[in-house]
Chains A and B, each alone.
Chain A
Amino acid sequence: MESNRPLPIPTPNSEPFWKGLANHQVTLQQCNDCAAWVFYPRSHCNGCLSPNLTWTEVTGNGTLYSYTVARRPTAPQFADDIPQLIVVVELNEGVRLNSVMINVAPEALIIGMAVKPVFHLQNSATLLYFEPA
């Protein structure tokens, strides 16, 4: 199933984000006009619709906003990962993203816990996973 894993296909707009991860850097867009942090990568700020966004490196640190322990694969492509620790992380900048927690037992997951990034190589892509900080 590993080879069937769905991987992100960067778009012209999101390429800096994925390239950053490949270099073990978490980069986010920030709006020059309203200072909002923007995730996922966009052409325009979702706070004020300004097109003036600047890529900035951040720590990637954050907290666990929510999680679930999928006891059955959410899709057959994830059958090898059961139980899947599907999580939502809120980065220190306030934006949220989907991820996977590793290096932690399901019972040890606590909403609000501090987490830090793990650059997870999946086939040709680097995904942003997290582990306890």
Chain B
Amino acid sequence: MGLKGRAAVTGVADYKNVRKYTGKRKFFLEQWAELTQLALADAGLSKQDVDGLCCAAIPESTMFAPATIAEYLGLQVNFAETVDLGGASPVSMIWRAAAAIEMGICEAVVCAAPGLPIPSHPNPPPKDPTRVYGSTSAKWGSPQAEYDVPYGNVAQNAGYALIAQRYAAIYGYDERALAKIAVDQRTNAQGNPNAVFYGEPITIDDVLQSKMIADPLHILEIVMPCAGGSAVVVVSERLAKKCKHRPVFVTGFGERLTTRSVTYAEDMTVSPVGPAAAGAFAMSGKKPKDVDVLEAYDCYTITVLLTIEDSGFCSKGEGTAFVNENDLTFSGSFPVNTHGGQLGAGQAAGMAGGMSQPVEGVRQIMGRADGRQIANCNAALITGTGGIMSEQSAIILEGA
């Protein structure tokens, strides 16, 4: 059961991450067209090859996003999917694309996540005061509106801080190890000219001396929002043979959702990434020791720590020792987020942050990661995290 590993990522495209975007503003539809054109050119394919698409919501059209995108790009597709899994959406788009291709529904699926600012409205509508709650729903009837928002548990920082604080109470908390995750990833960002923190390495003390936002999370343990965006094209084995680069096959996936608000998680210190990664490993026939790189969704340092533990790279509660014993940089013993991750490269808007991890895994396996290339990179575990550990997905990528 599951994937046979007959669908491959053969093209990628991304915008440079920037904190203060001064370029031309573009609607998501325009970014979809541009990223698709770039990813197809990268693969060596043409628009005529595309017969599937996976997207997240687009601001221009709250419903009917796939048809709107297909129409704008002039595509006729046999497979279309709007994925609504927060930061896990991009990883989940890729396995859905691979599954649809293996089922024979389609042969080339574009998965894109734009994240550049859209043009300013000439007559801006009045601001919605609930916008400040981020992705927390303030709509009547939403459990979050009723039981999270009135108590100030809104947006992401508080939820991840609650997770980290509980982890500290149960397993102990080596704050220097948590900080080292941010530091090693920042070192990786020094090999990525598209990272927002390119040219700005940091130390563990820098992290620990940075502003406390919500105990125990310092500001340097939290992603920096930025403009960006990226896309991949997933194709059949047949089309992969025509492509320019080493095909990167999707050989396993897993997905797990439990609660929207982490308050109700069975155990707040255990991420649903565990079952997701276990499913991906089992399907691909790989074990944690078989992967050359972990590209882990990293909204916070604690997210990376839990992903390392719960994906099976070390035992539960031993994540901080594992981080201390390993060099997480691209030339190290256990490379993590070789592009800098979202902590080091920035979290592009929309769902684009979570596309950076698969794009980097593909580049590593293709051997196109320039100044941060891992020697002999053949297999990667890529994870996506949405909400407050609400949605988790994982894929195994392998070079042909």
Contact = CB atoms under 8 A, between A and B. Distances in A.
Contacts of B143: 40
Given A65-B166, A72-B213, A98 B153 contact: yes
Given A8-B145, A74-B158, A75-B132, A98 B151 contact: yes
Interface in B126-141: 129-130, 132-133, 138, 140-141
Q: How large is the interface on B (under 10, 10 to 19, 20 to 34, 35 or more residues)?
A: 35 or more
A8 B147 contact: yes
14 contacts: A8-B147, A8-B150, A9-B140, A9-B145, A11-B140, A11-B141, A68-B215, A70-B158, A71-B211, A74-B158, A75-B132, A75-B155, A86-B162, A111-B166
Contact of B153 (A8, A69, A74, A127): A74
Contacts of B130: 6
A97 B147 contact: yes
Nearest to B140: A9
Interface stretch (B7-15, B85-93, B196-204, B260-268): B260-268
A71 B158 contact: no
Given A9-B146, A40-B146, A98 B263 contact: yes
B146 A67 contact: no
A97 B143 CA distance: 11
Contacts of B166: 65-66, 111
Contacts, number: 107
B169 interface: yes
B218 to A, nearest CB: 10
A111 B151 CA distance: 18
B158 A68 contact: yes
Interface of A: 4-11, 14, 40, 65-78, 81, 84, 86, 88, 96-100, 106, 111-112, 122, 125, 127
A71 B169 contact: no
Given A9-B140, A88-B263, A98 B214 contact: no
A76 B132 CA distance: 7
B133 A75 contact: yes
Contacts of B211: 71
Which 3 interchain pairs have the tightest Cβ spacing? A68-B161, A111-B169, A66-B166
A34 B329 CA distance: 50
A9 B165 CA distance: 30
B214 A66 contact: no
Interface of B: 129-130, 132-133, 138, 140-141, 143, 145-155, 157-158, 161-163, 165-166, 169, 211-215, 217, 261, 263-264, 268
B215 A69 contact: yes
B150 A86 contact: no
B165 A111 contact: yes
Contact of B152 (A74, A96, A97, A125): A74
A71 B153 CA distance: 13
A96 B163 CA distance: 14
A86 B151 contact: yes
A86 B153 contact: yes
Given A7-B150, A71-B214, A86-B214, 18 more contacts: A8-B149, A8-B150, A40-B143, A65-B166, A65-B268, A66-B169, A66-B268, A68-B162, A69-B215, A71-B213, A74-B152, A75-B132, A77-B132, A86-B153, A86-B162, A88-B268, A100-B151, A125-B150
B213 A66 contact: no
A6 B153 CA distance: 11
Contacts of B213: 70-72
A8 B162 contact: no
A55 B158 CA distance: 30
Given A96-B263, A97-B263, A70 B157 contact: yes
Given A4-B129, A7-B150, A78-B152, A66 B158 contact: no
A112 B151 contact: no
A120 B149 CA distance: 15
Contacts of A84: 152
A50 B163 CA distance: 31
Contact of B157 (A74, A88, A100, A111): A74
A71 B184 CA distance: 26
A74 B155 CA distance: 7
Given A8-B146, A68-B161, A76-B132, A81 B140 contact: no
Nearest to B216: A68
A74 B133 CA distance: 8
A28 to B, nearest CB: 13
Contacts of A65: 166, 268
A127 B148 CA distance: 11
Contacts of B133: 6, 75
Given A9-B145, A88-B263, A66 B153 contact: no
Q: Count chain B CB atoms within 10 A of each CB in A11, A73, A98 and give the residue with the most.
A: A98
A125 B147 CA distance: 13
A67 B268 CA distance: 12
Nearest to B129: A4
